[in-house]
Amino acid sequence: MRIALLACALLAACGKPPPADGAARLALLASERGQGVLPPPGPAWHFRALGRVIFPSEPAPLQQEAELWIGGPDRIKFVMTAADGGGRNVFLLDGGAGCWVRTDAEPWREWGSTELLAESEVRWALLRFPWGWEAEVRAAPEAAEFRRATGSGELTLEIGADGLPRAASCSGVRAEVSDWRVLSHGARTAPFRWAWTGPSGRRAEEYDELREDARFFDEAFRPPPAAGAGPARIAGGAVERFGLIQARLWRVEGAAPESAMNEPSWWRHEGRRVAAVLLEPGAPAPESADGAAPEAAGGEWWLRWSFVGLAADAAQTEAELLSAAEQAGLSVLGRPWVRETPDDGRAHGQIALVAVAPPAAQQR
């Protein structure tokens, strides 16, 4: 009863009577974020943030540069670097696989931190709400806070008078969020300032860039393999892009390997080598060398997986791409297309595609 009365007071104060219907409240909370009630079809995007972390200190706060990768409710890579470049700490969390920390050039060491796991749960909830909280909102449409059980303990999420999340807590860890802006890539809003309290003390995080248009390989959240343990699957930032795109894939003649992305190149499809070019839906159809009309493959909607890696990795993506489409509830139309790159032992930009039914036709 206390929560319901508090919600009424908050919403009345900002001129918005609390919807008594769960579906209406869910739609309202989603609209405040500039997003739909349900996430778009396809695998969930991951988050990447760049900014700074600020620790209270005397005589002046201690500030460090920060880079944060969020790959789910239990996957984190957090890099903090001293402003003068004099020190660097890297924290990795990979769900049930473990948690690790590395200081400067020292060896990786396991770090049994339940606090980092609780932080990860809090981050994922605040960045995506009300996605993932549909049942809780429908069950208590007038509530000003929602609770759910997680592997780290009970997670509580508090909603402000403006309909945006204002704080979340889990297992002694609490984050208060503010400075809501449109994501650096996209249309949704997200908090760019986070104030944390927990067992390790207090700190603030301020981000200049926060985006959700990336996905990270599993290896991004684990220490790299020891020397001599075999080649790394990926190089550099370990980032991949994975999601739905609108595009036209045209079969053409006279393709050449390693062409620019908007030029013809070689692709593998159904065990054959096919010349094709991927263009935006409204772009003019490419001209064929023999004057014949080009042929479009598939429709205008594709599940795309792109990353920087070895040619051998790209050859193994077909089954994974189809599995990801199935898990996301997408209707696949045909077999995957995999763009060829040189098999020279070096990392190149890899792309795999599979045609899917338009989002409006997806069964959710």
Is residue 229 in a domain?
no
In a domain? residue 334 = yes
Tell me phi and psi for residue 304, to 5 degrees.
-110, 140
pTM: 0.70
| pLDDT above 70 as % of the chain | 82
Instruction: Indicate whether 156 belongs to any domain.
Output: yes
Q: Check whether residue 257 and residue 164 sit in a common domain.
A: no
Whole-number Å distance between alpha carbons of 364 and 361: 9
Distance, CA of 8 to CA of 17 (rounded, Å): 7
Identify whether residues 210 and 245 lie together within a single domain.
no
CA distance 176 to 159: 11
Q: Categorize the per-residue pLDDT at 257 as very low, low, confident or very high, splitting at 50, 70 and 90.
A: low
Average pLDDT over residues 26-39: 92
Q: Which domain holds residue 153?
A: 46-215
Tell whether 209 is covered by a domain. yes
Q: What is the pLDDT of residues 183-236, one digit of tens each?
A: 987 789 999 999 999 999 999 999 999 998 777 777 788 887 654 444 444 443
Asked if the structure places residue 70 within a domain, the reply is yes
Do 114 and 193 share a domain, yes or no? yes
Binned at pLDDT 50, 70 and 90, residue 256 comes out as low
The count of structural domains within the chain is 2
The neighbour count for residue 62, using CB atoms within 10 Å, is 13
In terms of domains, do 60 and 192 share one?
Answer: yes
Residues 248 and 144 in one domain: no
- Asked whether residue 224 is domain-assigned, the answer is no
Nearest CA-CA partner of 42 in 302, 269, 318: 302
Residue carrying the six token digits 């220490």: 223
Indicate whether 143 and 210 sit together in one domain: yes
Domain boundary among 149, 181, 215: 215
